[in-house]
Amino acid sequence: MSDNKIPYTPFPANGYFGPEYFCDRNDELHQLIQNLKGGHSITLTSMRRIGKTGLIRHVQHTLNKDWICIYVDILATENMSQLLNMLASAIARVFSERSGVGRKIWNALKQLRPVVGFDAITGEPNLSFDLDENESRKHIESLLDLLDKQEKRVLVAIDEFQQILEYPEKNVDAWLRTKIQHLRNVVFVFSGSRQHLMTELFASPSRPFFRSTAFLHLEKIPHNVYREFIVEMFESRKKTISLRDVDDMLNWTRRHTYYVQVLCNRLFINSGRKVKEASWRSVAQKLLKEQEMFFFTYRDMLTKSQWQLLKAVAREEELFAPTAKGFIISSGLGSSANILRALDSLLTKELVCEFRSDTGERCYCVYDVFFMRWVQEILQ
């Protein structure tokens, strides 16, 4: 389930290129594989861009010989009909019409009368239907039944699963849970980056999916593990980088996978045989400058009090007690009520996120690490 290409650098920021470019996650991989092989679906949550989708692809790569693995990202969907389109297209991309099993799958898909098109860039098939809610439900059920009848076991990974809560159709989770519990040959990975919504779906006693899956929350890759991986990747391409510089880079990116990969990717391209401290810091500054237009847009969408609070959170990096007297004074917002009101808005806009620190304490940080570093610089 890799992207079947060799990345330009050993630090791809997007896509999955095989286990040699994948850092760690051995414990998480083992937990996922054991649950799936045992017939248990699993819920996977994390902060955005921490490596959740890459881990799903890594699981599929590990299972690939013995399983049928289907991945579908439903973040862009707005209703049941679009969910059907995404699922049908994902299934069609897995099976070649030239294989025996593939012909059967495609014949079954065509019986549902989709409009079949092909991506202009990748050539991959896109299936679409123009159906009402009831017909969309029936077609999704037919697709799941089709997968359940396969000789190989089937893994369906649905990314950004919390999106079903935004659908105008009622009780989508109840209907889907009822259908899924009768499948015998299909297991699921339900993943999502909006943690409070995923928790509501799977941990609330009033919800149909309550305790219906195993649960795994993805944390940041440990510092020492990531440091060793980065050094090895540079050395494998005949480049050297000091442990001190790698430590500084991991601290600057807060070990947030996407930002680590972007920085290392750009540094690899712009460095010689020996990477110097000035090199990575120069690259980091260029990355911030490139995205400055977006950062100004973020700033302009905020009220004065929201911007004031975001600057204060960026200055703290990890904010543990937003209503503490000292922070109320330093933020300049005057009262805990003002802070909580602004904080709620920043959380809704996903410019600030709530998470658990390395010590297990609840705290807040600016979601986009590059944006946080840019804010810190303008505060100097």
pLDDT digits 0-9 by tens, 115-172: 888 888 788 888 888 888 888 999 999 999 999 999 999 999 999 999 999 999 999 9
pLDDT of residue 1: 54
Tokens of 372: 């946080």
Closest-CA residue to 173 (of 154, 194, 193, 158): 158
Domains of the chain: 25-217 (3.40.50.300), 223-290 (1.10.8.60), 293-379 (1.10.10.10)
Asked whether residue 173 carries a pLDDT value surpassing 80, the answer given is yes
CA dihedral 149, 58, 88, 172 (to 10 degrees): 90
pLDDT digit string (tens) for 72-97?
A: 999 999 999 999 999 999 998 888 77
Residues in the chain: 380
Question: DSSP character for 68?
Answer: E
Q: Which of 56-60, 99-103, 371-375 has the lowest mean pLDDT?
A: 99-103
Burial of residue 66 (CB within 10 Å: 0-12, 13-18, 19+) is exposed
Asked whether residue 375 carries a pLDDT value surpassing 90, the answer given is yes
Q: Which residues pair with 154 in a beta bridge?
A: 68, 186
Closest-CA residue to 268 (of 12, 15, 50): 12
